[in-house]
Amino acid sequence: MKSINVKSDESVFYNSPVMDINPDQRYLVKVSVSCEEGQLGAAYLCVIILDEKKEISRVIKWIKNSSGIEKEYELNFQTPKNSKKIIVGYRINFETPNKSEVKMAVSDPLDFVLQETESGEDIFDDITKYEVPELPPLTQEQEDVLEKKIVWIFGVPRSGTTWLGTRLLNHPENIIWDESWLGYHLATLVTSSEAEKMNPQQQENIAFPYSRIFDVQSINGNYFFAPHHKKNWLPYFRKLILARVYSQAQTLTKNIIIKDSPSVGGADIIMEAFPKAKLIFLLRDGRDVVESRIDMHSPDSWGRLPPIKAEEKGSYILYYSEDWKFFNDKIEKAYNNHDENVRFFIKYEELKKDTFSIVKKLYQFIDVKIYDSEIKELVDFYDFKNIPESEKGPGKFNRAATTGGWKKSFAKDEQNYMNEVMGPMLKKFGYEV
C-alpha cells in the first residue's frame, strides 16, 4: 500500500501504464484503499478509456472516508466500441470538484486487478453528481491574490483556444477551466422581435445583425447593469466571480486558466472588473474561422449543426463574418483597456508557425517555471500531425489546423462577402485583404 498525505492546496495523481483492451467488452477492476481523512469529491479511483491516443470515456468511484479501514473498491463497466487502450489511476485534489486535506493508503496502480467478465451490472459513480461544500469567504487580501492568478483566454470559436488553453497550457501549476459561459450571459444579443418593442432612443444603439442587451440598455438607468450605477455594482460583480472561481479551483497558489470562447461577447465587461488578472487575446484570420464554422454544418459533423443548402451558403458566410467581427471587437476593447503588463496578444498563424517559442513566452507570462524539454514534449504531443487520422479531417473537431484554407474553399464572390465585412479589422491586424 502507498501512503498519501496531502494538504488542500496540493494534488496527487497516479496512473498505471497504458494497456491494450478490447472494445465492447465488460471489465472488472479491483483495488484496495484505506482512507482516514478527506472530503467526498476530493479523491476517486478512475479508469480512463482511450482510442489510439485520446480519452473517450472515464468511469470513477468516489473514495469515501472509511475511518482508516481497508476497503475493496470495484469498477464494473463496458468499454465503448472504439476503445483500444486503458489507464487505471487515482485522482486526489486533481481533476476533482472538491479539494481537502487527504490522508489515505492505496494499492499501487500496478497492483490492481483487471479482468474481462461476461456478466455483471455497471458499478461506478456519476462524476457529474457532486456538491461543493460552502467555503469560507475570501478576505480582501485573498481576493487580490486570486485575481492575479486568473488567466482569461479569449478568442472567437474555432480560433485555436482549445489547443492553447486546455492542451499547450496543461501543466500541474495550472487549473484548467474549460468554458465558464459567464460572458455569454452578460452579452445576450438583441433579437429583431425584441428590438421592435424598444423605444426609438434604444433602437439607435442597435446595429444588426449583432447588438448586446448590455449596450442597448446602457441608456436606461433602471437596467440592472446600468453604467450609471457601475461604481456600486462592479465591485460586487468582481466578488461574485472571485467566489465562483475559488469554488472551482479551491487554491490561491495555482493559475486558473479560463479558456472561454462562449464568453467573448462579455470580455470587455469581465476584464474591467479584473484589472490585475491576465488576459490572452488569441486571434485567427476570420476567413479561416468562417471556413471552419461552415464545416460544422457538414453531414455527421461533430458540431451537429443543420446542413446548409446551396442557396443558404451566402447568408451563413455573412452571418459568421459578422460574428467574427462583432466578438473580436469586444475582445480588442478588453485588450486595449487592460494593463499592458498583464496582457498577451497571439495570432493563431504565428502560434502555428512557431509554437515552441510562443508557448515558452506564455509560460513566462503566467509565471510558471518549465523546462524547454517539457515544452517540447507538450508541443509535440499536441501537434496536429500526431493526432490519429481517425480524429481529424472534414467534419471533425480537429479539422485542418491550416492557415489560408479559405482561399480554396470559397468562390471569389464568397471571398468578397467576407472581405467586405471583415476587411477593415483584418487589415488592422496585419492580414492581407
User: What would the pLDDT profile of 259-311 be if each residue is shown by its tens digit?
Assistant: 999 899 999 999 999 999 999 999 999 999 999 999 889 887 776 778 888 88
Residue 201 pLDDT class (50, 70, 90 cuts): confident
User: In this structure, are residues 314 and 306 in contact, taking their beta carbons and an 8 Å threshold?
Assistant: no
Question: Which pLDDT score is estimated for 66?
Answer: 73
Using CA atoms, how far apart are residues 431 and 364, in angstroms rounded to an integer? 27
Q: What is the DSSP letter of 385?
A: G
Q: Of 25 and 213, which is predicted with more confidence?
A: 25
Q: Of 431 and 306, which is predicted with more confidence?
A: 431
Cell of 216: 442597448
Residue 134's contacts (CB-CB under 8 Å, 6 or more residues apart) are none
Q: Which of 52-61, 111-120, 370-379 has the highest mean pLDDT?
A: 370-379
Residue-averaged pLDDT of the chain: 89
Question: Which pLDDT score is estimated for 205?
Answer: 67
Residue 401 pLDDT class (50, 70, 90 cuts): low
- The amino acid that residue 300 corresponds to is D
Q: What percent of the chain has pLDDT over 70?
A: 92
User: What would the pLDDT profile of 123-166 be if each residue is shown by its tens digit?
Assistant: 999 988 888 989 999 999 999 999 999 999 999 999 999 999 99
Q: What is the mean pLDDT of residues 216-234?
A: 90
Domains assigned to the chain: 2-116 (2.60.120.260), 140-428 (3.40.50.300)
Using CA atoms, how far apart are residues 299 and 126, in angstroms rounded to an integer? 31
User: In this structure, are residues 64 and 10 in contact, taking their beta carbons and an 8 Å threshold?
Assistant: no
